[in-house]
Amino acid sequence: MEFETSRLDKYIRRRYGKRIPQSMIEIAIKNGDILVNGGRTRASDKVSETDNVFVYHSVCRMFEAVMHSSKPKAPVDYSRFITELKDMIIYEDDDLIIVNKPPGLPVQLGSKMRISVDVMAKAYNPEARLVHRIDKETSGVVVLAKNLFTARYMLYLFQNKEIYKKYMAVVAGKLSAAEGVISKPLTRAGSTSIVDFEYGKEAVTKFRVLETIAQGRTLIEAIPLTGRTHQIRVHFSAISCPIVGDRRFNGPKFKYLCLHANEISFTLSNCRKISVIAPVPPYFQTVPGDE
């Protein structure tokens, strides 16, 4: 960072763009989405090159969206999405909001999107923070923290693999066993992942067959023991059993990607155990089979 000591809001504009509205910066600071040296701050506080200025990814994307806009757009009234967010909530307490995300709704804001789970959650609760992500096409459990302490602790749990996650999927092809483990190292290739036995990082997925949905279509449960990008999708494609509706990884055509984050379990710092199940979407049972 090449700058003299200056106000935080001026630094944000210098880093992300001169057209970032002051109100957007101040709201992000007030919500704790911009931190200096790990703590809350104010727009008028001074920062220098020795300070660690952290901006949450969702706020970075909003800043980028403003700067890439050809002309200023009228602000969206996100309050109208509060009802929709409430309908998605399957668990809530003083520390957490857990939603059952529908397919097609992104978790975080992108340059071509004006609505996402994190934006809806901010309208519902300004302190809400995403603590993990699932693909836009994937449905199911998404966890948000209501305060900074819980957000940090949840990130700790994810990083240390102390969170149990289970997915449901409908796959095509013939599985070689009723249950098993797929262990194929993955590496990033642009915005996706590929199997790479030479340079890839360890990636392990347990699976179990549940039932036959249609001819050549099987409902399975998958438990990722590691957390690589697109891990479950790549693994099943790699064993010639791609997920139905997965256009990116050669799955049979279907209106939806049949991958659902079904269950999550973990223990909070106060020893309180949380276990939440998101019901499987009804379209799983309408997948057509091979002719």
The structure tokens listed for 152 are 């940090």
The answer to whether 180 and 207 have CB atoms below 8 angstroms apart is yes
Pairing of strands 259-267, 139-145: parallel
Could you give the dihedral angle defined by the CA atoms of residues 36, 64, 108 and 248, in that order, rounded to the nearest 10 degrees? Answer: -130
The answer to whether 31 and 76 have CB atoms below 8 angstroms apart is no
Cα separation, 106 vs 82, in Å, equals 16
Map residue 24 onto helix, strand or coil: helix
77 is catalytic: no
Cα separation, 242 vs 69, in Å, equals 37
> Which amino acid appears at position 179 of this protein?
E
Q: Which of 9, 95, 118, 135 is catalytic?
A: 135
> Residue 120: how many CB atoms within 10 A of its CB?
23
If residue 167 lies in a helix (H) or strand (E), which one and from where to where?
strand 164-172
- The dihedral through the CA atoms of 257, 183, 154, 162 has a sign that is positive
If residue 99 lies in a helix (H) or strand (E), which one and from where to where?
strand 96-101
Catalytic site residues?
135
